[in-house]
Structures are given as structure tokens and as C-alpha cells.
Amino acid sequence: MNTTEQVAAKLASSGKRATYCYQCVAGPDLLTVKIVDGVATEVEPNFAACDVHPGGGKVCVKAYGLVQKTYNPNRVLTPMRRSNPNKGRNEDPGFVAISWDEALDTIAVKLRSIMEAGLLDASGYPKVAANFGGGGTPQSYMGTFPAFLAAWGPVDMGFGSGQGVKCTHSEHLYGEFWHRAFTVCPDTPMCNYVISCGANVEASGGVVGVWRHANARERGMKRVQVEPHLSVTGACSAEWVPIRPKTDPAFLYALIHVMLHEAARERLDIAFLKQHSNSPYLVGANGFFLRDATTRKPLLWDLTRNAAVSFDTPGCDPALEGSFGCDALEIGADAEVLAQGRLEGSPSFAKLVAHMQPYSPEWAAGICDVPAATMRRIANEFLDHAQVGTTIEIEGKTLPYRPVAVALGKTVNNGWGGFECVWARTLLATLVGGLEVPGGTLGTTVRLNRPLAERLESVTPGADGFMHYPMNPTDREHWSARPNIRNAYRSMVPLAANGPWSQALGPTHFSWMFLKETPKGLPTVTLPELWFVYRSNPAISFWDTKNVSATMARFPFVVAMAYTRDETNHMADILLPDATDLESLQLIRIGGSKYIEQFWEHEGYALRQPVVAAQGEARDFTDIATELARRTGLLEEYNASINHGSAGVPLKGADWDFSLDTKRAHGRDGIWDAVCKAASAELTGGKQAHGLDWWKEHGLATKPFPHADWYLYPTMVAQGLRFEMPYQERLYRIGKELGNRLHENDMQWWNEQLAEYQTLPVWKDFPGIWEKSLVKMGGTTKDFPFWLLTSRSMQYSWGNNVGIQLIKEVADNVSGHRGVILNAGIAAEMGVEDGDMVEIATPLHSVTARAVVRQGIRPDTLLLLGQFDHWATPFARDFGVPSMNSLVPMSLELTDATGSGADIVRVSLKRAGAKP
Amino acid sequence: MTRWAMVADLRRCVGCQTCTASCKQANATPPDVQWRRVLDMEVGEYPAVKRAFVPVGCMHCDEPPCMHVCPSTATRKRPDGIVTIDYDLCIGCSYCAVACPYQARYKTDRASFAYGKPTAAEKQGFDPKRLAVATKCTFCADRIDAGMAKGLTPGIDPEATPACVNACISQTLSFGDIEDPHSNVSQLLAENQTFRMHEELGTGPGFYYIWDKKGEEAAA
């Protein structure tokens, strides 16, 4: 038998095969699939992984849909070509089956013509764009396609499918800045008290999140859930605080006020504030640090010497409060010296204390609709549980132990108010020394800083005693009004950095919006000449979906990897059926500290293998990528990129070299065999070089990952660095500089966003921003009295599984999957009963939904779970469940300085006919 | 003697329905037949409202009402407490479904599949004997029996343990022998406050719900 026949024979047999599921960012889950006569029948946890996986090796509900996903009769199983040149929701694409050769040649011809004419268009934007959904999880399924993209050159990956508005965007950017981490969470296994503002970890934290929090609840951890509706996480919490939507900054500010103005000062971690934060840095009259005239280092006031000294002076006891005169410089934006000589300054902590003075619980009560006594009690409970001064030993290291944390959820930590919330969250941790220490508030993994897989190694010393951060430039010499991609992240959002994921961390709705009208100062935003789409459906998952659909209908050439037909590939020119989860091959890195709550004590690799033969003509993405590279003349660059590490592991190491011959095309198994050997060698320091067959049999291999490496604090101490809290001098400076650059180019349309760059953020009327938007749309708050929100569906989220019957069936057991949740009292007032049809409307759009009448939601709030409203996806198009995405507008005024918007909109509600 | 029982720790359940999905797959049940499912319940009125997730299914009662009303003796109770249905004897009268206070029984008259026609996986699992008869949770008796035959311990060894317990991501569900004082479930019952659903009916459910540690009330 040849190799193909051997594989086929093996697949035809029965047994269990190890693989992984990474359909959402809270993965991967390690599983086995039972095979009977070559047919996948059952998913189970990979029990062999229970000792290394932090969720006991269990598997999320979504993975149980993979069997049906494989055999779904609605799959696209042959390449297809559009026969109708007209595109639009109401146009039948007229897809006709074609051969792989015709499909790949058609794409290659298009790509080669682009290469010949130049990769950038007249505006300087890449002619090729690509869209991958799911928070980066498609990378665990797209095989070597990243190598093809790397070989190609500039690609615009900034057409959003929800990035920026559906993610925890402010947490990502400021998280990388303060925590050196893309997401932030409690150290759940050691935490005793969590304030959770809208964090829905029981729905979004995956197996590991659920596992860790269940253990914590059982041992007595108290979690206070602050949110307008009683989510799954609220249900599992000790207390629910039904706060008014988008007022979380006021709630958090009130807690800080209590800690600064009502609690005894010694209840705070004064030593941490003095030694590990910028609290003692002296601030001058213009809001910038006072600096030594010679070294330009920030100054603090040393109580021992009774003199101003540089922040890094050994053996000093810095003042946190008071006002001090000293010889200094105050340097503003663009290195402008604002003041020099004998200057008066106060420690930033003193500035903070004064700043928070107005934000009492009584002040916040009227804003949040939460009693002042509740906020005061929660603040004191937080302090009571903080155990300031205690330590714990982790793997021989003595570290501070602070078992209190604050967690934030989407819509709280993105869009306007997101900055204030993430600042307040990290500040609450800072005040008790609970930042990046056992029990406290932790960052997880990096996505904007480099190296991607090594969070702690990404920490290097920067200016002023803080971590280096790779801001996009704002200085006159390096800032450019000609961005590299259409969402302009490099020009508009310094914090988006210039890392592996930065394109997706810009204002990704700008790519769609600016196609209609590009604002002054930016090159005219153009249509991409070729757009790749994979595991992404922005026609459903973004906002203003009607207009997004209409816009993508203008794209001249769209190539969609198609599992089934859907609302986005409805506009495609070519559909390519890629072998899906249980049919294809890839090795990925696992373990260490990853998204959400994925903290492992192991790290290594796991294999996703074809447990059954691919259905129809579906092809492995690696083979598709190789063929595209070959047919576009990029094979050498493509192979070189794989050798360099674009398949997840560099193929050449210190003592091993499994590099591919760059001159010829390699088959899928050959490529991944080399990757497997390199991964094996990396794990064992070159002692082992297990190939693909070994990995297929074993599924995974790991080595220990230190528990102590969950915490950033030891690295900061070792490098003599301070956390950049509470005072945001650097952000203030870059905001000023960005403003200077924009105004020099007569770009005034970002002025409201520029105001977000503050040293100490003030409360603004955040709900009022959406109310003003409502008025701009032609409505009034009286006529549109409800806040429409959304919430995570664990069963569906990011699984690209909306067409899977099993998932629909089990998801429907969870309240809200069948319609819009509204408060029972309001329903009674309106004469609406459970199951009645209601109309939800903005001044511009409306949808209808079944009423789901519940007690666990504020009277002024409506909730639509997940993202539905499908009209093309088979099976899902019959759900009859709407989505808030059809109602939420895209607009500049609802975009914050990080380029993010929040999932919230004012709506009206009325009956829409008789009960069915 | 052995008495198999299920324990659900309500402090831990998040209503994710992973147990439901795994049960459906392991037992190849047709659409809308859920031998294991999790209720999403609310108690109280806004704002003093609690939401709870409660796994339910056949309780494998000591005194199964379904068995007592079964006219064909299809429903029986094994010595180890597992309540069974002999599909060859069941006449599909549904008396049992009416008698069951836990709404745990299903009857499907015609074959139904996820997408109309059976997929390859559904063909593998399809059992025509299940048509027009009562069906319900079996505690995965086939797994228990096969596992024990290999010397494995149900509730401890995955191969001998009900699929829903294996799948549970929050460790809500535990399974074991409550007649063995050293078993996992006996330990849980000894350490925690529990209740059984509709205990007042005298059915003696083999399904226990943990809601707090013992001694917590006194401590509070």
C-alpha cells in the first residue's frame, strides 16, 4: 500500500483518536474522537491529558458539535464559482461547482496580476485583504496559510468582523501597557474576593474558567457580580448588583473613593505604592513629571534625605503626599520644556487622592442606581479580604499574597468608558498591592508585544522606570498620515502598537465606514482587489450589518473558505471547501499562560489530526496554501516562511534542522512531519525528534511551566521596574503629540477621542454619549427608553457552529436563546407575555423577537444573546432570532480613542402582534 | 450491595449543557430527546432574584412510579438501583411518562434526525428498537457493566462512568456507589447538605443535590 492507502485504511478502522478543539479563545480543549468503521461518532475528553490541562482535560460543549459539523449535509463540498456578476443580499450568487484546478488557477491568475501591477494601490493600501474571525482562533485551523500570506507581502487584515467592538478592546490595549497582557483576570485559584463588572467568565472562560471558578466557589471565594442583567456568571455569584448600563466607571470610582478617603491609609499597601508604582513621582503644574535637569529622570521626594532624588535612587523613602519644591524640569509633548528651575510638585498619589475626592458612593448612587451603602460595603469587603502585608511561597519564591481582584466584561472594558474602567480596575489592585501577585489581578498572555509566546521575556526596561512599550510613533519625525492599512491604526492609535495582532486592534470598523467617506487627511480608502475570508462572517458579526453586507457586495473579488453557505460568502466569487476540524492536520502550541483564565503548569504542543476522511472534495488548508504558493510563483518564499516558523515552530534550532527544501512543493504530511520533529526537539532540547506518526498516536507532549511565571511581579522586581500606575503621564504626552500631528495635517475629526488621553481619568456622562447618538439618529430618550445589550452564548460563541442542530438544541435550554429577555415587571406593564412577538427599534432599524420574560434583568434593559439574524446560513436562517448587530450603528462619535465601540444601543419596545 | 447514585453540586453547575450534549452523542438520542438536561431556573422577583442551574433526568428511584404503572413489566429496577426499560417488552403506552414526577421519559414514534435524513454518524447510532417505546437515562448502564467487567470503578474510571459525568466541566456531577461508605459520592454526601427532588413523594431518588457544606448554617 502507498501512504495514502495506509492512511485511508487506518481511518477506516475503529478506535479513538486524540485531537483538539480551539473554536473559541478560551481553548484549546484536548479531546478524543471515537471512530466506528471510519465514521466519527462521539467526542470525549482526552483523559490522558487530565493531569496537564488546567481544566481537568475536559471539553467545552461546542466540541460536542464537531461530529455533526463533519457530517452536516449543508456543507459546501466542492469548489464553486459565482455565475451571477451582480452581488447583494437579494442577488442569487448562482454558485456552480468547479474543479479545484479551475478554482486555484482563477485565484492565482488574479494574484499574479496584482503582483505584476504592484501590491499597493494608489492610496498605499494593500490590494489583498484577509479576514479571520474568532479572536485569532482560525490560526489553529488554517494550517500553513500564514506562510502564504507572509510570502505574499502586505495584506490588509483590518477589515473587522467584530474586532474592536465585540472584544474587550480597552482591556487588550491598556492590558498590554500595564499588565503586559492582552487579557486580565483574577488569580482565581488563590483569590478569595472578586468584584466582577460584567465579566461573564462562566460563559466566556471556557472549560478552564468554569473549572477554576467552580473550585473557588466551593472553597468559599465570594464573587460580587455587577451587571444590568443576571448572566450565567451572575447566577453563579454570591451577590448580584443590577447596575445601570455603562455606568461602571462611577461604581469603580466610588470604591476607590472609599479606599482613599474613608479607609485608614495603612489599609493600603503603602510599600507597594512607594516601591512598585509611580505613586511617588512628583508631578508639576502642567501635569507632567518633574525631572532631574541633567538626567531627565522623574523625581520623587525622599523623606530620608528630605530632598528630591531620581526615582531609581537606592535606599530612599519616597513621600506619597504633600507638596515639595525642587530644582527640576517639566517636559511636555514633543520634548517641549514647559518649566524649569525651582518648581513645585506633588506625588502622583497625592494627585490621585485629590482627583478621586468628588467620587463618593453618594455621588455614584444616582448615576449607577446602586445604593451608596452597597458600594461602601463592597469597597470595605475588598479591603477586608486583601490581606495587605502577607506573603506566600510559590516554587521557592516568596511573593506578596493579595487574594482580591476585579474582573471586567465586554461593553464595560471597551468603547467609551472602557479606559476609565480598566484604569480603575488596575488601580484597585495597585492600591492593595494586588497587581500581578498571587491571589490578585493578573495579565495572561501577549499579542501586541513580542515575542508572542513568551510574556515575561517580552518585558524590557523602558523610559522612566517603566516597561518598554512599542507605541506607534507620535513624534514629528516618525508619525505618518499615510497608514499601512485602511483602518489607520498606526496613525490613529499609538497603543495598538506594531505587533503581530496590531492590525486587528485598530478601529476595524473604520475600514468599512471610510469606504463610504474617508475623513480629511487620510488617503482615500479603497476596495481591496482580492479579499480572503476564513471562519468569519462579518455580515452577521459586525454592526450595522445591512450596510456591511452592502459594502462587501462592492468588493470585486472575494475568495471564501466555505464550510456552508453564509451571509458573507454570499458575496464571494470563489468558494473553497476546506477540510474542517476533524478532517485536517495542524500542530499548535499549548500551555503556559494564555487567554482568559488559561493558566497552565505545563507547556508544549498538541496535534489536530484527520480523525476521519474529508467529506466530498474538501481539502486541507495546508494543501490549499501550498498550491496557491506554487501557482503564484511564491513557493520558495512560502517554504522559507514555514522554515522560519510561520507554522508555529522554527524548523531549525540550536542542534536540529528539519528545514524544508524551499525549491519544491511539499505535501501536507511532509510539512507537518517536519513541524512535529522541530516541536519535539524544542521541547526536549534536541533529545527527541518525534515525527507526525508519534504525534498522531500521542496527541500532545508537554514539559513543566513554572507556576511562578503566572505573575509579572517577580520580573518587574528583577528588572527594577515599576508598574505604570496610577498616573498616566506617558499616555497624556502621546495624546498631546498625536493631537499635534493630526492638527498639523488639519485633521480635526479625532478631537473628542484625543480628550481620552488623561493623566487621571475623570468621569464623563458615558450613557449620555449613546443618548446623544440616539438624538442624532432622530430619536428621543423618552421614545426609546430601553438599553439593548448582548451577552455571551457559551454554546455558540466563536464556534462558527450556528448551523449545527445539536448546538441549537442544547443552547435553547439556556434562557434567552429563543428571543429577547425583558424584565417581568415591564412586560406586565406592557401586557407582554412570554413568547409574544415584540418589535425592538432604533430610529433607523427594527427587528422582531419572541419575548423571554425574566426577573433577572433591570426594567430599563433588554438583552439579545449571541449574534443571529442569519438569512443565508442553512438551518440558522430558520431560527427567527434577531441580533443587536442589525440595530447598532457604526459612527465616529461612538468610537473611543483606542478605536473601540461598545455593544449598547437605545431602543424602543412594543408588541408586534398576537401571541403565536 | 451496590446502589449507584448521581450527585449534582448546585454550587458548581453553570448550565453549560455539556452534559446534555455528551449524553445525546454517547446515547445517540434523536433531536429534542434529552435524557440529561440542565434547567435554567429563576426564584424571586427583581431585584431580589436568584438564578440556578439544575441538572435533571431519570432519578433511578428506589420506588420508581414509572415501574409500578408499567403494564408490560418493561420497566424494572436492577439490584444496583438502575431503572431499566426493556424495549422488547415496552408497548409504548406512556403510562410511565405520565407517572414520572421528574418528566424524565421520552417517546419517539418516528425516526428523526438532525437534518432530516440520517448522517453517517446518526446511522451508526440509530436503534430502531427505540421507536414507539419509552426511553430515558440509563445511567449509562452499558458503560458501567462493561467497565466493571474490566475491573474498573464507575465514577472513578472514565471508561466505566456515565458520559455526562465524564463530560461535566465544572465537576458538578459525580457518580458512584452510595452503599460504599468510602466511595466518592458517599464522601460528598457526608460532607455536604443535600436534598433530593420531590423527596416528599417517597420515590427515593438516586440523584442527590448538594447546596452547601455541612455546618455552614451554624457558622453563618
**Does residue A713 contact residue A399 with C-beta atoms inside 8 Å?**
yes
Contact A810 B21 (CB under 8 A): yes
Contacts of A814 in chain B (CB under 8 A): 15, 17, 40
Angle between helices A248-261 and A361-368 (to 10 degrees): 170
Mean pLDDT of A690-698: 97
pLDDT on residue A796: 95
For B58-88, letters b (16+ CB in 10 Å) and e give: bbbbeebbbbebbeeebbebeebbbbbbebe
Q: How far apart are CA B47 and CA A721, in angstroms?
A: 46
Residues 51-70 of B with CB under 8 A from A: 51-53
Q: 3-class DSSP state for residue A277?
A: strand
Query: A42 and B26: CB-CB below 8 Å?
Result: yes
Across A7-19, average pLDDT? 73
Element (H, E) at A459: none
Residue pair A597/A212 in contact (Cβ under 8 Å)? The answer is yes
Taking chain B (220 residues) in runs of 10, the rounded mean pLDDT of each run is 97 98 98 98 97 98 97 98 98 97 97 97 96 98 98 98 98 98 97 96 98 67
**Which residue does chain B place closest to A243, by CA atoms?**
B47
Q: From the list A47, A232, A855, which residue is nearest B14 (CB)?
A: A232
Q: Which residues of A touch B11 (CB under 8 A)?
A: 214, 217-218
B37 part of contact set with chain A, CB < 8 Å: yes
Which residues of chain B neighbour A73 with C-beta distances below 8 Å?
115-117, 119
Condensed to tens digits (0 to 9), the pLDDT of residues A838-854 reads 999 999 999 999 999 99
Summary mean pLDDT of chain A: 96
B192 touches chain A (CB under 8 A): no
Q: Does B220 touch chain A (CB under 8 A)?
A: no
Question: With an 8 Å Cβ cutoff, are B39 and A70 in contact?
Answer: no
Q: Write down the residue that cell numbers 498550491 correspond to.
A: A627
CA distances, B162 to each of A45, A584, A738, B19, B103 (Å)? 13, 30, 60, 10, 20
Q: Determine whether the interchain pair A855/B20 forms a contact, defined as Cβ–Cβ distance below 8 Å.
A: no
Tally of residues, chain B: 220
Residue among B52, B116, B170 whose CB faces A235 most closely = B52
**B72 vs chain A: nearest CA distance in angstroms?**
32
Contact A58 B26 (CB under 8 A): no
Mean pLDDT of all residues in A877-899: 94
Whether B102 and B201 have beta carbons less than 8 Å apart is answered as no
For B40, the closest chain A residue by CA position comes to A814
Interface mutation vs chain A, best among B46, B54, B188, most A CBs within 10 Å: B46
Partner residue opposite B169 with nearest CB, options A210, A232, A235: A210
Residue A414 pLDDT greater than 50, yes or no: yes
Q: 3-state SS of chain B?
A: CCCEEEEEECCCCCCCCHHHHHHHHHHCCCCCCCCEEEEEEEEEECCEEEEEEEEEECCCCCCCHHHHHCCCCCEEECCCCCEEECCCCCCCCCHHHHHCCCCCCEEECCCCCCECECCHHHHHHCCHHHECCEECCCCCHHHHHHHHHCCCCCCCCHHHCCHHHHHCCCCCEEEEECCCCCCHHHHHHHHEEEECCCHHHCCCCCEEEEEEECCHHHHC
Residue type, B212: D
CATH number (domain holding residue B158):
3.30.70.20
**Chain A contact probe: residue of B13, B16, B20 with most A CBs at under 10 A:** B16
Which chain A residues are Cβ-neighbours of B153 within 8 angstroms?
A: none
- Please compute, for residue A28, the number of CA atoms within 13 A of its CA located in the half-sphere on the CB side: 33
Q: Using CB atoms, which residue from B46, B114, B163 is nearest to A68?
A: B114
3-state SS class at A64: helix
Of the ranges A183-187, A489-493, A799-803, which one carries the lowest mean pLDDT score?
A799-803
- Selected for mutation to probe chain A from B33, B49, B140, B211 (highest A CB count within 10 Å) is B49
SS3 state at A769 = helix
Domains: count for chain B: 1
| Inter-chain Cβ pairs, chain A and chain B, closer than 8 A | 163
Mutate to test the interface with B, among A61, A796, A817 (most CBs of B within 10 A): A61
Which pLDDT tens digit goes with each residue over A233-251? 999 999 999 999 999 999 9
**CA neighbor of A340 nearest in space, from A296, A300, A309:** A296
User: For B166, which of A45, A807, A814 is closest by C-beta distance?
Assistant: A45
**Kind and range of the H or E run holding A98:** none
Taking the CA of residue A62 and the nearest CA in chain B, the distance in Å comes to 8
C-alpha angle A185/A235/B194, rounded to 5°? Answer: 115
Region A560-565: mean pLDDT is 98
Residue window 130-189, chain B: list those with CB within 8 Å of chain A.
158, 163, 166-172
Tell whether B214 is within 8 A of chain A (Cβ): no
Strand partners, A848: A839
Task: Answer yes or no: do A58 and B46 touch at CB < 8 A.
Answer: no
Burial (CB count within 10 angstroms: exposed 0-12, middle 13-18, buried 19+), residue A860: middle
Query: CA torsion sign, B130 to B133 to B136 to B138?
Result: negative
Q: Which of A73, A794, A875 sits opposite B117 (nearest CB)?
A: A73
Distance, in Å, from the CA atom of A283 to the CA atom of A261, rounded to the nearest integer, reads 21
Per-residue pLDDT tens digits for A373-384: 999 999 999 999
| Contact yes or no for B9 and A230 at CB 8 A | no
Question: Chain B: nearest CA to A427, how far in angstroms?
Answer: 30
pLDDT for the residue A1: 46
Nearest CA to A279 out of A527, A479, A465 is that of: A465
| pLDDT tens digits, A786-813 | 999 999 999 998 878 999 999 999 999 9
- Least confident stretch, A323-332, A507-516, A635-644, B38-47: A507-516
pLDDT digits (tens, 9 = 90+) for A137-165: 999 999 999 999 999 999 999 998 888 88
Q: Which of A58, A218, A815 has the CB atom closest to B12's CB atom?
A: A218
Least confident of A126-130, A446-450, B42-46: A446-450
Q: At A907, list the grid cell.
A: 431602543
From residue A423, alpha-carbon distances to A111, A181, A403, A879 in Å are 45, 14, 19, 40
User: Taking CB atoms and an 8 Å limit, are B21 and A824 in contact across chains?
Assistant: no
Q: What interface predicted TM-score (ipTM) does this complex get?
A: 0.97
Question: Do the strands A574-576 and A558-561 form a parallel or antiparallel pair, or are they unpaired?
Answer: parallel
Q: Cβ–Cβ contacts within 10 Å for residue A912, how many?
A: 18
pLDDT at A307: 98
Distance CA(A143)–CA(A366), nearest Å, equals 53
Test A809 with B166 for CB contact under 8 angstroms.
no
* Separation in Å, CA A771 to CA A283, A624, A839, A864, A909: 36, 48, 20, 20, 16
Mean pLDDT of A341-354: 98
Is the Cβ pair B25, A41 closer than 8 Å? yes
State the cell numbers at A117: 501591477
**Residue contact A813–B39, C-beta within 8 A:** yes
Of B45, B51, B171, which has the smallest distance from its Cβ to A214's Cβ? B171
Bridge partners of B208?
Answer: B7
Q: What are phi and psi of B72, to 5 degrees?
A: -110, 5
* Burial group, residue A854, by CB count within 10 angstroms (0-12, 13-18, 19+): buried
Q: Do A58 and B167 touch (CB under 8 A)?
A: yes
Shortest distance between the Cα of B68 and any Cα of chain A, in A, equals: 30
In angstroms, what separates the C-alpha of A376 from chain B's closest C-alpha?
Answer: 19
Q: Distance between CA atoms of B162 and A344, rounded to whole angstroms?
A: 72
- Say which of A73, A794, A855 has its CB closest to residue B49: A855
Give contacts of B121 with chain A, Cβ < 8 Å: 39-41, 67-68, 70-71
Chain A hits for B20, CB-CB cut-off 8 Å, are 61, 810, 813
CA dihedral sign of residues A136, A140, A141, A147: positive
The answer, for B46 touching chain A at a CB cutoff of 8 Å, is: yes
User: Which residues in chain A have their CB less than 8 angstroms from residue B115's CB?
Assistant: 72-74, 805, 875
Strand partners, A239: A224
Helix A508-516 / helix A545-552 crossing angle, nearest 10 deg: 70
The domain of B87 spans 4-219
Domains defined for chain A, CATH in brackets = 766-911 (2.40.40.20)
CA distances from B79 to A203, B3, B185, B202 (A): 40, 8, 18, 19
Cell numbers that stand for A886 in this block: 442589525
Please give the single-letter amino acid code of residue A728.
Q
Model pLDDT, residue A12: 54
Please name the member of B47, B170, B171 whose beta carbon is closest to the beta carbon of A242: B47
Residue A135 confidence class, pLDDT cut points 50, 70, 90? confident
Residues across chain A: 916
> Which ranges of A36-99 does DSSP label H, i.e. alpha helix?
66-71
* CB-nearest partner of A809 from B16, B31, B123: B31
Residues of A in contact with B18 (CB under 8 A): 58-61, 64
pLDDT at B217: 53
Rounded to whole angstroms, the Cα distance separating A786 from A561 reads 39
